Structure 1
Amino acid sequence: MKVTLTQFQTLDGVIQAPGGPEEDPSSGFEHGGWSFPFGDEDFMSFVTEVFDRADAFLLGRRTYEIFASYWPKKTDPGDPVASRLNSLPKYVASTTLTSSDWPGTQFIGRDDIAKDVTLLKEQPGRELQLHGSADLAQSLLAHDLIDTVHLLTFPVALGTGKRLFAEGGLPTAFRTTGSRLTSKGVVINSYERAGRPEYGSF
């Protein structure tokens, strides 16, 4: 399987708490829920396409706890998100969680998250999908373990908050494989990892 990351960000690169005020208020973040005004049919069409390709999910602890408190209650088999999250394997990177009532959950990464994810990538399947989970995403980017990044950029700037490509990250080149614009102005770009950056001079 290849690892794919779907990440929401603002124009100034903030990825923290796009879904609601209580999602991640750490470090005094007060702008939670900033993605909400931009939901439309174009946005949901893309999300449906992404989840249709999933064969398993890879989640950080915080994102897992948010998902586990909501999605198991959604039992409509026609819901493209709920049906897959509830039925497919969910691998959770956590050193503290050890059990869950959500069927299909397995905990990994207690000793070496890079090694565990490398082993998962060797399993047959299409996509091992990572949604949000910023700390985990940064760790996997540092080990060249994310193959595809779907970056959804929303037309808003917040000034503070966590960023995906933080200072000190591994220099990485990407190849753009797709781009679209939703009716509410969200730019959706898809990238494939392409090794190290090349340099030159004008």
Structure 2
Amino acid sequence: MRKLKVTTFLSLDGVMQGPGGPDEDRDGGFEHGGWAAPHIGERLVAAMADLTGRAGALLLGRRTYEEFAATWPLAEDGDPIGAKLNGMPKYVASRTLDSVSWRNSTLLTGDVPEAVRRLKEGDGGEIQVHGSGGLVQTLIAHDLVDEYHLVVFPVLIGSGKRLFAEGTVPAGLRLVASTVHATGAVVGTYARDGGVEYGAMGPETGNW
């Protein structure tokens, strides 16, 4: 079974919308695009290159696919992230696209959750989802995410699309790895770990 990993840039209050630039995603009148850019350092870029290098395939929603397809083919020779993204298999979930032209891309047809389940049952390395906020909500709602790779930046946005929105399936998570960067970004990888456990704390319980 292939692992499906969601990689997301998040503000401290959980917003994932438009981290990379002013016009990346203005849905809902969002005016804070580019909030992550000042906190991207060389060490974080290297870590993202290492993460992307471990992918066997990329799974993208329509908006992120169009952004990536318009920019990554322009990457300079020797760019490890660009070379990997351009060369690896890419699967695109969209209700509006009729075709995809970025090299090694395939448009998923029919029921998206079922199509993703079939991908996970196939051969190959881990399937990575980058950005793709709408698609991620579908994957979360259908309990298809095995790991979350979250890059949390020291900013508060206050509004915008959030990673864990309504419809999130309650689940336990286990911290697999964590790193703190000099720019203030905190990176954590969390794996699914059963259900949510409940308890009580306080001086009367002895758990304080």
The answer to whether the superposition gives a TM-score over 0.5 is: yes
Match status 1:196 vs 2:195: yes
- Percent identity for Structure 1 against Structure 2: 49
Choose 1 or 2 for highest CA Rg: 2
| Residue number in structure 1 paired with 2:167 | 168
Give the AA of the match of 1:134: G
Q: 2:61 aligned with 1:60, yes or no?
A: yes
Alignment of 1:17-32 (within 5 A): 17-32=18-33
Partner residue in 2 for 1:104: 104
**Residue type matched to 1:15 in 2?**
M
**Conservation of the 8 A alpha-carbon contact between 2:61 and 2:134:** yes
Q: Which residue of 2 aligns with 1:128?
A: 127
Counterpart secondary structure, 1:69? helix
Q: Give the superposition deviation at 1:135.
A: 1.1
In the aligned structure 1, how far is the partner of 2:3 from the partner of 2:167? 25
| Post-superposition offset of 1:75 | 4.7
Give a deviation string over 1:51-104, Cα, whole Å, max 9, x none: 11011100000000000111112251x211111111111100011112122111
SS at match of 1:156: coil
1:42-191 matched pairs, under 5 angstroms: 42-76=43-77, 78-108=78-108, 110-191=109-190
Superposed structure 1 runs of 4+ greater than 3 Å apart:
none
Question: What is the Cα deviation at residue 44 of structure 1?
Answer: 1.0
* 2:7 is the alignment partner of 1:3: no
Q: C-alpha distance in 1, partners of 2:137/2:193?
A: 17
In 2 relative to 1, CA 168–31 (structure 1 residues): closer, same or farther, beyond 3 Å?
same
TM-score normalised per structure 1: 0.96
* SS at 1:85 equivalent: helix
Letter in 1 for 2:174: R
Task: Show CA shifts across 1:17-63 (max 9, x none).
Answer: 00011110010000000011011122112101111101110000000
Q: Quote the Cα distance in structure 1 between the aligned partners of 2:167 and 2:59.
A: 24
Question: How many residue pairs align between the two structures?
Answer: 200
Distance in 1 between residues matched to 2:28 and 2:184, nearest whole Å: 29
Aligned alpha-carbon RMSD (Å): 1.1
SS of match in other structure, 1:8: strand
Give the 3-state SS of the residue equivalent to 1:24 in structure 2.
coil
Superposed CA offset, 1:165-188 (max 9, x none)? 013321111100000011101000
Give ranges in structure 2 of 5+ residues lacking alignment: 202-208
